[in-house]
Structure 1
Amino acid sequence: MTALSLVSDVGGTNTRVALASDGVVDTSSIARFRNAEHSGLDEIYRSYLSQRDVTCEGACIAIAGPVMDGHGTLTNRGWSFDRDQLAACTGADTTALLNDLQAQGHAVAGLPESSLHDVIIGPRPQEHSAVLVIGVGTGFNSVPVFRTETGVYVPPCETGHTSFPALSEDDLSLSQWVARHHGFPGVEDVLSGRGLERVYAWASGADTALDSGAIMAAIAQGDDPVADKTARAFCTALGRVAGDLALTHLPFGGVYLVGGMSNAFRPYLQSHGFVDAFRAKGRFTEFMEQFAVRVVEDDYAALTGCARRIAETL
């Protein structure tokens, strides 16, 4: 009989829970819970399982926050959870906790082609080529994915809090604007939803405040020069940071962009400076042509990553 596992994607606002077997999520079993209506994750998982007559041998959850030594903290709510608690409330003998982007890394090999959109086409990857996943949404982060003969290894990272790279005069001006208004200018302070709002305020020259949804609408409209400057600055910065990370990890298996902002900017990456900025690495510019870049459009990717991760250990 196929072993069942509970898998879960824990975001700042909602938690998704599902059942999986052999690394595949049963999409008909997916349920969503509003975090504000519950006291903690144990309550959510007990509620989910109480409505289903199943026994879970494994459980794996992805948390939008730091995870270390089997203990995770949900950044936006302050909830803490560990593997012992997960085992206690699910009855699973085998458990795992992942950072949400680690889960995206584990998902890559299991995503359907229909959910992948090419930005830069590269050579066919070798079987054990490394992969790089970059998440741009509420925040920014990235993880390398190492596919070895003994399994997939996805180490946690916090790259969104590294220094924003300033090469051009515009970069420096933007970095200084962020520093004046918000303190340390990290990558996440530019490349994220709230970062986009800061880029627009800087591009306006008058600290004009506009929410990210309205900015994207103005970019799509195509007749707002401030919005166009914002889009070009955002795409160029993303290309430059992604290129730096590619040289750090050498992802010959491809670079995968995930998250709401990655998908929002997908129509503009090729036309607004991403590709040139990604490859502009001096004498290594030609070398950069070896890296393919794709945008992932899959709402259940984190659940898939959890399913694939726990299947390796059962």
Structure 2
Amino acid sequence: MADPVLVGDIGGTNVRFAIARRGFAGHCTVSDVSVMPGDGFDKFDDALNTYCDHIGKTCPERALIALAGPVDEGHVKLTNRDWIVDEKRLEANTGLKRVRLVNDYAAMARAIPELPESDFRLLQAGDPDESEREPILVSGPGTGVGMATLIPVGTTNWRVLTGEGGHAAFAPFNDRERALAVKLEESHGYVSRELVLSGSGLNAVHKALCDIDGVEWEELPPAEIMKRAGQGDRICRDICEIRARGTLYALGDAALMNGTKGGVVVTGGVAERLADWLAAPEALERFNNRGPMSDYMHPIPIRLLLSGEAALVGAAALHFDEGTAG
């Protein structure tokens, strides 16, 4: 059996670590999971050393860390946190023999074939061709918006293509969304999907809608916005609808462009909180309605990922795929 590997999932809010192993059936399992707020550390090296110290003598010699930012020759600047992470520096500062850095959505996407169906909520059953292995789109709003495509290789293997689709331009659908886009452009210039759909843009969207409606803005936590939306508050309801419908609108575009007929997996903490809004017929219509290409969209299954450990599992799978253990 392959040696265990230290895996990490580093987002804009939390830092997750675990020890991963490949089981006899070939699927990856994780243990010793630790979740820590990123705000508790000045730099990522400190967080990794804290976990290594906690594990002690049983800490693996190799690590694969998935981070929310583009990877450039073993170097990552996180998109939503002021951290710069470097493979060689980590090897020098932690005592690990080998550290590999990957984009967080490379790990998130690679996890999908490893997870049981119980880790998903079905939003649209679709009608996929079970006789073919087709690409799968993995994307959704958390602190930011990540995106990757899972591409089948041969009969059992997978390859991951990552991108920065969350930073593509936000496409408004109706008058309310067009007014929001105009207001956000005044304060932010470029209006990305991430600004409108993710946790990092929540206050900006809320404030913009309050300005449009002539209502005094007060900062509200996400849970309070959800609560008020359920009670019928117009602005809070609009926030939930815009984010849920906008997410499926954006993922419909990506699925159409990438030909991900194998399915779409919606990810991220924001998406989980918006589960019922995502499942609404109006949101699913945003995904499916593509004029003459609508028949192309309806067979694509859409699932919502509910596992908080998915990226850790995917990081392990990437490690063992490359045969770097041992």
Would you call these one fold, judging by a TM-score over 0.5?
yes
Per the alignment, do residues 153 and 18 of structure 1 end up closer, same or farther by CA in structure 2, a change over 3 Å counting? Answer: same
Q: Is the 8 A contact 1:128 1:147 kept in 2?
A: yes
Give the superposition deviation at 1:146: 1.1
Which of 209, 214, 224 pairs up with 1:206?
214
Q: Is the 8 A contact 2:30 2:313 kept in 1?
A: no
Counterpart CA distance in 2 for 1:214 and 1:255 is 29
Q: What residue ranges of structure 2 are gaps of 5+ in the alignment? A: none
Counterpart CA distance in 2 for 1:182 and 1:278 is 27
1:71 aligned residue: 75
Counterpart CA distance in 2 for 1:261 and 1:147 is 28
Counterpart CA distance in 2 for 1:249 and 1:194 is 26
Which residue type is aligned with residue 73 of structure 1? K
1:119 aligns with 2:86: no
Matches within 5 A, 1:96-135: 96-124=100-128, 125-126=130-131, 128-135=133-140
Per the alignment, do residues 230 and 16 of structure 1 end up closer, same or farther by CA in structure 2, a change over 3 Å counting? Answer: closer
Give the superposition deviation at 1:82: 2.8
1:157 aligns with 2:167: no
Counterpart CA distance in 2 for 1:81 and 1:20 is 21
Per the alignment, do residues 102 and 208 of structure 1 end up closer, same or farther by CA in structure 2, a change over 3 Å counting? Answer: farther
Matches within 5 A, 1:155-194: 155-194=161-200
Aligned sequence identity (%): 28
Give the superposition deviation at 1:121: 0.8
Counterpart CA distance in 2 for 1:46 and 1:197 is 33
TM-score by length of 2: 0.85
Counterpart CA distance in 2 for 1:197 and 1:46 is 33
Give the superposition deviation at 1:282: 0.7
Matches within 5 A, 1:6-21: 6-21=6-21
Per the alignment, do residues 137 and 35 of structure 1 end up closer, same or farther by CA in structure 2, a change over 3 Å counting? Answer: closer
Counterpart CA distance in 1 for 2:96 and 2:201 is 41
Deviations 1:160-189 (A, max 9, x none): 221111343333222112112322121112
Counterpart CA distance in 2 for 1:117 and 1:65 is 27
Secondary structure of the residue that 1:170 maps to in structure 2? helix
Per the alignment, do residues 4 and 80 of structure 1 end up closer, same or farther by CA in structure 2, a change over 3 Å counting? Answer: same
Q: Is the 8 A contact 1:59 1:86 kept in 2?
A: no
Give the superposition deviation at 1:74: 2.7
Q: How many residues align?
A: 311
Give the superposition deviation at 1:278: 0.7
Counterpart CA distance in 2 for 1:102 and 1:207 is 41
Which residue type is aligned with residue 115 of structure 1? D
Counterpart CA distance in 2 for 1:232 and 1:13 is 24
1:252 aligns with 2:261: yes
1:289 aligns with 2:298: yes
Matches within 5 A, 1:233-312: 233-271=242-280, 273-312=282-321
Give the superposition deviation at 1:248: 1.1
1:232 aligns with 2:241: yes
Q: What residue ranges of structure 1 are gaps of 5+ in the alignment? A: none
Per the alignment, do residues 311 and 281 of structure 1 end up closer, same or farther by CA in structure 2, a change over 3 Å counting? Answer: same
Alignment RMSD: 2.4
Counterpart CA distance in 2 for 1:308 and 1:235 is 30
Secondary structure of the residue that 1:56 maps to in structure 2? coil
Q: Is the 8 A contact 1:254 1:292 kept in 2?
A: yes
Which residue type is aligned with residue 21 of structure 1? R
TM-score by length of 1: 0.88
Secondary structure of the residue that 1:68 maps to in structure 2? coil
Matches within 5 A, 1:84-95: 84-88=88-92, 89-93=94-98, 95=99
Per the alignment, do residues 301 and 280 of structure 1 end up closer, same or farther by CA in structure 2, a change over 3 Å counting? Answer: same
Counterpart CA distance in 1 for 2:315 and 2:85 is 16
Counterpart CA distance in 2 for 1:199 and 1:235 is 13
Q: Is the 8 A contact 2:12 2:144 kept in 1?
A: no
Which residue type is aligned with residue 286 of structure 2? A
1:220 aligned residue: 230
1:53 aligns with 2:61: no
Q: Is the 8 A contact 1:257 1:295 kept in 2?
A: yes
Per the alignment, do residues 198 and 15 of structure 1 end up closer, same or farther by CA in structure 2, a change over 3 Å counting? Answer: closer
1:148 aligns with 2:156: no
